[in-house]
Amino acid sequence: MAKVVFKVGDDVSTDIIYPGRFMATVLPTETPQFAFIDYPDFNAKVKKKEYPPQSIIVAGKNFGCGSSREQAASCLKGPDFVVIARNFSRIFLQNAINLGLKMVICPAIEASEGDELELTADQVINKTSGKSFPVVALPKARQVIIDAGGLIPFTRKLLLDAKDKR
């Protein structure tokens, strides 16, 4: 069980998650300091590491639309957030899977900041409101990358397997 610590609306773009003006910072270890920086209260708590791992961000439709900048996923992966959205934009979804950021597609999600949620394989249970909401599976094609813990270990294994075959 984990708490909803931040709630945002529909079409939250990468310009909001990780504004372009900080794009010169690229390393995943350095990007969390700029996560949602135009939301100063949330950003300050991220910087002070006040949110426990697996804290939940709830979003509307099309979360992560816009730029392909991977910082938008890595800045949320660093503090180990879980993002629950009605749906995600394509490139953000792939970046998040590649980096091992946990995402849940939940088209009917209703939750407020402070609510306690339990995540199961097929639903999100809002313990505060008592309601539960079905989950849509992430793209099948990408499950092997999720299972490998991200694209870096997955690709590394492919290269090593190819080496062994030679």
Partner 1 sequence: MGMTMVEKILAKATNQAAVKAGDVLEPRVDMAMSHENGALVINQFSEIYKDTGLEAKVWDPSRIAIIFDHRVPAESSKTAGNQKKIRDFVAKQGIGKFHDIRGDGGGICHQILPEYGYVRPGNVVVGTDSHTTSHGALGAFSFGIGATEMAAVWALGRVLNVEVPGTIKVVCEGKFKRHVAPKDLILHLIGKLTSEGANFKVIEFHGPAIEQMSTSGRLVICNMTVEAGATSGIVPPDAETVRYLQEEAGVKDKLDLLAPDADAVYDQVITINVSKLQPQIACPHTVDNVKPIKEVAGIKLNQIVIGSCTNGRLDDLAIAAKILKGKKVAKGTRMLIFPASTRIYLQALKKGYITTFMEAGAVVMNSGCGPCLGVHQGALADGDVALATTNRNFKGRMGNPNAEVFLCSPAVAAASAITGVITDPRKGGK
Instruction: Give residues in contact with partner 1 (CB under 8 A).
Output: 11, 13, 15-16, 19-21, 23-27, 38, 61-62, 65-71, 73, 87, 89-91, 94-95, 98-99, 139-142, 144-145, 150-152, 154-156, 158-160, 163
Asked if 46 and 36 touch (Cβ cutoff 8 Å), the reply is yes
Asked if 2 and 54 touch (Cβ cutoff 8 Å), the reply is yes
The values of phi and psi at residue 24, to 5°, are -70, -20
Least separation in angstroms between residue 48's CB and partner 1 is: 22
Of 64 and 117, CB closest to partner 1:
64
Please name the residues in contact with 89: beta carbons below 8 A apart, sequence gap of 6 or more: 62, 63, 64, 65, 66
Of 3 and 61, CB closest to partner 1:
61
Of 54 and 139, CB closest to partner 1:
139
Least separation in angstroms between residue 132's CB and partner 1 is: 25
Please name the residues in contact with 37: beta carbons below 8 A apart, sequence gap of 6 or more: 19, 22, 43
